Amino acid sequence: MKRNCESPGRRTIQRNAAQAKFFWATAVVVGVLSSQGCNPADRIEHRVMTYEQTGIPDQVRLPPASSVGDTAVRSRMVTAIAALPTATWFFKAVGPVEDLEASFESFREFLQAIRFDENGQPQYSAPAGWQEAPLRPGRFQTFVFGPAERKTIELAISELGPNQDLPSNVNRWRGQLELPPLDDGAASGSLDKLTYQGGEYLVFDEVGMYRGGMAPAAAPPAGPAHSVTSEASSAAASASGGAENNEAASEPARSLPIEFTIPPNWEQLPKPMFATVKLEQKSGDRKAAISVSEMNPELNTWESAVGSWLAELELASQDAAQVEPFVSEIAIDGQTGQQIRLLLPDAAKGIFAARVEREGRAWFVKLSGDKSLVEESTGDWETFVRSLRFKK
The answer to whether residues 57 and 80 belong to one domain is no
- CA 129, chain centre distance (Å): 28
Residue 356 lies in a domain: yes
Q: Report yes or no on 34 lying in a domain.
A: no
User: What CA–CA distances, in Å, run from 223 to 183, 216, 218, 272?
Assistant: 8, 21, 15, 20
Contact indicator for 251, 270 with CB cutoff of 8 Å: yes
Q: Are residues 80 and 52 in the same domain?
A: no
CB atoms within 10 A of CB 306: 29
What distance in Å separates the CA atoms of residue 202 and residue 81, rounded to the nearest whole number? 5
Between CA 61 and CA 318 the distance in angstroms is 8
Q: Which residues contact 56 (CB under 8 A, 6 or more apart)?
A: 302, 303, 306, 320, 323, 324, 327
Pairwise CA distance, residues 363 & 46, whole Å? 18
| Co-location of 136 and 78 in the same domain | yes
Structural domain includes residue 36: no
Please return the burial class of 91, using the count of CB atoms within 10 Å of its CB with bins 0-12, 13-18 and 19+.
buried
Cβ–Cβ contacts within 10 Å for residue 26, how many?
20
Pairing relationship of beta strands 258-259 and 267-268 according to DSSP bridges = unpaired
Give the global pTM. 0.50
**Is the same domain home to 359 and 256?**
yes
What backbone phi and psi angles, to 5 degrees, belong to 270?
-75, -25
Quick one: which H or E segment has residue 389? strand 389-390
Amino acid at 194: L
Q: Do 118 and 176 reside in the same domain of the chain?
A: yes
Whether residue 5 is contained in a domain is answered as no
Cβ contact 385:44 at 8 Å:
yes
One domain for residues 164 and 304: no
CATH number of the structural domain spanning residue 265: 3.40.1000
Q: What CA–CA distance (Å, rounded) separates 46 from 13?
A: 37
**Is residue 318 one of the residues assigned to a domain?**
yes
> Residue 282: what are its φ and ψ, rounded to 5°?
-125, 140
pLDDT of 90-100, one tens digit each?
A: 999 999 999 99
Domain membership of residue 371 as a residue range: 45-63+252-390
- DSSP state letters, 166-235: HHHHHHHHHHHTTPPP--HHHHHHT-EEEEETTEEEEEEEEEEEE-BS--PPPPPPSSPPPP--SHHHHH
Question: In total, how many domains does the chain have?
Answer: 2
Domain co-membership, 95 together with 57: no
- 86 alpha carbon, distance to own chain's centre: 15
Over pLDDT 90: what percentage of the chain?
A: 39
DSSP category for residue 325: G
Furthest C-alpha separation in the chain: 62
Please tell me the distance from the alpha carbon of residue 355 to that of residue 33, in angstroms, as a whole number: 2
Please tell me the total number of residues recorded for the chain in this structure. Answer: 392
* Coil vs helix vs strand at 144: strand
Residue 4 inside a domain? The answer is no
Assess whether 123 and 179 both reside in one domain.
Answer: yes
218 with 307, same domain: the answer is: no
| Boundary residue ending a domain (206, 239, 272) | 239
89 with 189, same domain? yes
Out of 208, 239, 270, a domain closes at: 239
DSSP H helices, the chain, are: 51-54, 97-113, 166-176, 184-189, 231-239, 246-249, 302-312, 320-323, 371-376, 378-387
Phi, psi of 320 (to 5 degrees): -65, -35
Residues 211 and 71 in one domain: yes
> pLDDT below 70 — which residues of the chain?
1-70, 213-254, 271-274, 316, 319-321
The answer to whether position 31 is within a domain reads: no
pLDDT at 361: 82
- Is 347 contained in some domain? yes
pLDDT for the residue 2: 35
Residues 157 and 280: their CA atoms lie apart, in Å, by 29
Predicted local distance difference test score (pLDDT) of residue 10: 33
Q: Which of 196, 217, 239 is the last residue of a domain?
A: 239
Whether residues 277 and 360 fall in one domain: yes
